[in-house]
Structure 1
Amino acid sequence: MKKQRILLVGIISVGVIALLILFGWLFRKPLYRLSLGDIDARYRSAMLAYQEHRYADARKELAPLARLDTAKCAQFLLGDLLYRGEGGPADLPEALNLFLMAARQEHVDAQANAGFMYTYGLGTRQDFGEAMDWLYRAALRGNPKAQLGMGNLYKNGWGPVRNEQAALNWYRQAAAHGNSDAMNNIGYMYRNGLGVPRNYEEALFWFQKAANLGNSSAQYNIGNLYCWGKGVDKDIVQGARWMLKSALQENAPAQYNLARMYQWGKGVEKNQEEAMKWYRRAAAQGHEKAMLALARLEKNETVEERDSTFMPDEGWPE
């Protein structure tokens, strides 16, 4: 009898423990939510820190909120901070994880960011299938970054079959939403006759639209058109001005070309100090031709204007 009572007590104890575990599992999320107190107030505080660029504080306040299954905005913002390395070290895998959590809740910017990271293998292996899935979902909802991403997939044949017409269509949609990279890409396609007949005037039109929004690649492209007289009267002085605008935004090819122009007096007065300065700035960004040119100049080697080491990416105006 005593053994039976002990056995019964044991069974009851196990049952109680199992119920407590089950209770904790079922109610862990509501209990965690309760432990956070006023969630709206905490989110407002985190948003204020984010907007005021107090990123370390924003990280600290967003982290507990992002653990909530439905906190897609907190997940996106924390992912953004981790991606950019603001308020602490960058963590691309965790940034992607947070973007995916928000993306599954239909956060459109998170979907675009997840697609971008899969496209370029940031924080994960490169996966064009995943990239297209997320970019397409966001692009259909009018997200210009995702529309640009779809255009890039089609232009380069990343995942889908290369289709320049489809790429141009997506770029136009992104450009209609004010995306300057898409405008620049449309100009690139007209300049090179990709998906459309080559048309330098139309290329210049789109480069100009993008450049007016501060796009450094478009400024560089306009500079090249002026240097070569494509779609516009040849004007190397004007070309140098556009190169400078782009170079000041740390566009490495523009810095390299500007260095060349100063070295040989093309569109600007010859100035070896300025040439060296711009070679150094381009080389610091890993521009290979700039690094080679800088190495030779620092050794005081004799170079000719037509030396292949110094030939710009887009050729050289006479």
Structure 2
Amino acid sequence: MFRNARLILMSAVAAAPAAMLLLPAVPAFAQGSQKAVTRPLEGNGETLQREGETSADPSSQQKGDRSGEQPSSGITLLERMGTSLPPLPPEKPYHGPVDEAYGAYQRGLYVTALAKALPRAEAGDAVAQTLVAEMMMRGQGIAHDAKGAAFWYGQAAERGDPAAMFQYALILMQGRYVTRDKAKADEYMRRAAEAGNASAQFNWAQILVADNPGEKGLKLALPFYEKSAEQGISDAQYAVAQLYLAIHDLPTDKKAKAREWLERAAKAGYDTAQLDMGLWYVNGVGGERDYDKGFEWMRIAALRGNVVAQNKLAHLYINALGTRPNPVEAAKWYVLSRRAGLPDPALEDFYLGIEEDQQKQAIEAANRFRRS
């Protein structure tokens, strides 16, 4: 038996972008797509520093320039979620009404689910309307019908269903099956966020930052990023980590948790968070330096295909930071990042200075590389 529960459309994150807006030039946020954002491809990202060294241009770090951001091949939000979660508490006995349509949907009986949900949807049941919309959008138990799904999402959104408000807001932003309406989209996104939808909370935070330049927007957005992060949205966890350092007058206890939030996003598989985790440990950002941990996280991000991490990993091998010096490995990672479009004059000089046999080994290793 299944309880009468609202359809939690976490799967919708894979079907629709986690965020539909680009953030302005503030410290590296998750971008408006379901893929992660890497460091700028035009430069080398944040400089790796040995202990005691300082950046050549500290003001550039304070400004957090991300003008050259490019989408990486980061994995989807669904794939990044659900890592190292605590066990669920014992389920309490339920004595409420049973939702037979949703129960059939959970068991994969889509035709049965649609037959039970459609009459309720036509009678104005918002939960059933959301279920019908989801099945139409996915072609489950019925032919794929995106326009029909948009209609039912709109009906459920008008009746206040959080999942439907989030989906319909995205549809209104895109303007594909309905007339584009940003004001209405923002209103539904806000209402869904305030109703507790985690993906809507992240998106509404993005909207607040975009519509309110400067620190004002960051402060308005932070509570929604935090709520979304608590529910496991890795993009939000990454944003919280960045904002805890970027906003100047936050309480000390919050700033102290910046690295903790970044690590949660990194452990969930977010490649940009893994890159930053490596940089933070190597450069002592948000806590003590730890070259060994910095190398470990940089290598994880590099193995996942993050181009900037591949570039930085080459530097770590050359400078023996967190690892033994290895010219072949350094050259391999440089070759991979160079092929991906990230030039580096210092690494080019290093590469040209090693033995021809080492260059050959590096190229062969780069040719064998497959993203983990």
Q: Please report the TM-score for the alignment, with normalisation by the length of structure 2.
A: 0.50
Cα drift, residue 179 of structure 1:
3.9
> Alpha carbons of 1:42 and 1:91: their partners in 2 closer, same or farther (altered >3 Å)?
closer
Query: Which of residues 327, 334, 341 is equivalent to 1:292?
Result: 341
Cα-Cα RMSD? 4.4
**Secondary structure of 2:298 counterpart:** helix
**Secondary structure of 1:142 counterpart:** coil
- The residue aligned with 1:303 is 348
- The residue aligned with 1:153 is 207
- The residue aligned with 2:159 is 105
Cα drift, residue 109 of structure 1:
1.4
CA contact (8 A) 1:259 1:274 kept: no
- The residue aligned with 1:208 is 263
- The residue aligned with 1:283 is none
Amino acid at match of 2:151: N
Percent identity between matched residues is 21
Query: Which of residues 130, 133, 140 is equivalent to 1:76?
Result: 130
Q: Tell me, which stretches of 5 or more residues in structure 1 are unaligned?
A: 1-39, 50-56, 280-288, 307-318
Largest Rg, 1 or 2: 1
> Alpha carbons of 1:259 and 1:84: their partners in 2 closer, same or farther (altered >3 Å)?
farther
Q: Deviations over 1:185-238 (max 9, x none)?
A: 111113334785999744213213444555444333222212322223334442
- The residue aligned with 1:132 is 186
> Alpha carbons of 1:247 and 1:127: their partners in 2 closer, same or farther (altered >3 Å)?
farther
- The residue aligned with 2:105 is 46
Q: Deviations over 1:43-86 (max 9, x none)?
A: 5433310xxxxxxx63x555554474235444434544565688
Cα drift, residue 133 of structure 1:
1.0
> Alpha carbons of 1:90 and 1:128: their partners in 2 closer, same or farther (altered >3 Å)?
same
> Alpha carbons of 1:276 and 1:163: their partners in 2 closer, same or farther (altered >3 Å)?
closer
Query: Do residues 238 (structure 1) and 293 (structure 2) align?
Result: yes
Cα drift, residue 153 of structure 1:
0.8
| Cα distance in 1 for residues equivalent to 2:243 and 2:210 | 12
Q: Deviations over 1:254-276 (max 9, x none)?
A: x2133224545255544279638
- The residue aligned with 2:310 is 259
Amino acid at match of 1:258: A
- The residue aligned with 2:26 is none
User: Is the helix fraction higher in 1 or 2?
Assistant: 1
Query: Do residues 271 (structure 1) and 329 (structure 2) align?
Result: yes
- The residue aligned with 2:276 is 221
Amino acid at match of 2:221: A
Structure 1 range deviating more: 101-110 or 64-73 = 64-73
Matched residues, number: 240
- The residue aligned with 1:189 is 243
**Secondary structure of 1:271 counterpart:** helix
**Secondary structure of 1:100 counterpart:** helix
CA contact (8 A) 1:82 1:94 kept: yes
CA contact (8 A) 2:165 2:188 kept: yes
> Alpha carbons of 1:209 and 1:44: their partners in 2 closer, same or farther (altered >3 Å)?
closer
Q: Please report the TM-score for the alignment, with normalisation by the length of structure 1.
A: 0.57
